Amino acid sequence: MRTKLVAALAVATVSAFLVAGCSSDSSSESVPAGSSSSSSASSNVSEEFNDADAMFARMMYPHHAQAVDMAEMVEGRTDNPEILTLASAIEAAQQPEMDRMAAWLTEWGQPAPSSDMGEMSGMDHGSGMGMMSQQDMDALTALSGAEFDRQWLTMMIAHHTGAIEMANTEIADGSNADAQQMARAIVTTQQQEIDTMRALLG
């Protein structure tokens, strides 16, 4: 009798594993072909992702890279302590997010992101992503003092607004929990920074 009970339990356990395996397979249906659906035990990245998640990471990476470039411009061009503090906060927040997005794309078996803004700048006109053209960046580099402050704040507000739009798209369409969590953080943080920058503009 005991032998039959042990056998029955063994069959039930195997069946449970098989069912779990099937459900795990079905949850990965949104993973694009050619992407990695496996994850090491030490990974902090959820293996489930869809096209919206991959697009978010690929496009937000160069977007962040440009914001970091703009943040680095303030040194030597302004003495405004509020702008210097804000730029430092932007750089401190967005560089680690870039590292995380690059790690996600590697985990998902996607191409590595590029910080080259050429492609995004070409897409920016009418797209609402807030990316600056190279001409915009060159013009900003040539300014200093109060004129730099006004232009930097105006450009960064537009840039942050574009980031929030991209993040809201990820929140609506993405499936990766980590990417969506970052998107929500971007919305909250960058909206607060927009409010600060508008106040500085007066």
Contact in structure between 174 and 57 (CB atoms under 8 Å): no
pLDDT of 82: 97
Is 17 inside any structural domain?
no
Is 62 inside any structural domain?
yes
72-92 residue pLDDT tens: 999 999 999 999 999 999 999
Show the low-confidence residues of the chain (pLDDT under 70).
1-46, 117-128
- What's the domain count of the chain? 1
104-116 residue pLDDT tens: 999 999 999 987 7
pTM given for the model:
0.74
pLDDT of 129: 87
From 66, 70, 77, select the one nearest 149 (Cα to Cα): 77
Is 25 inside any structural domain?
no
The residue segments making up the domain with residue 106 are 51-201
CATH of the domain at 187: 1.20.1260.10
pLDDT of 187: 98
Is 120 inside any structural domain?
yes
Is 135 inside any structural domain?
yes
Is 88 inside any structural domain?
yes
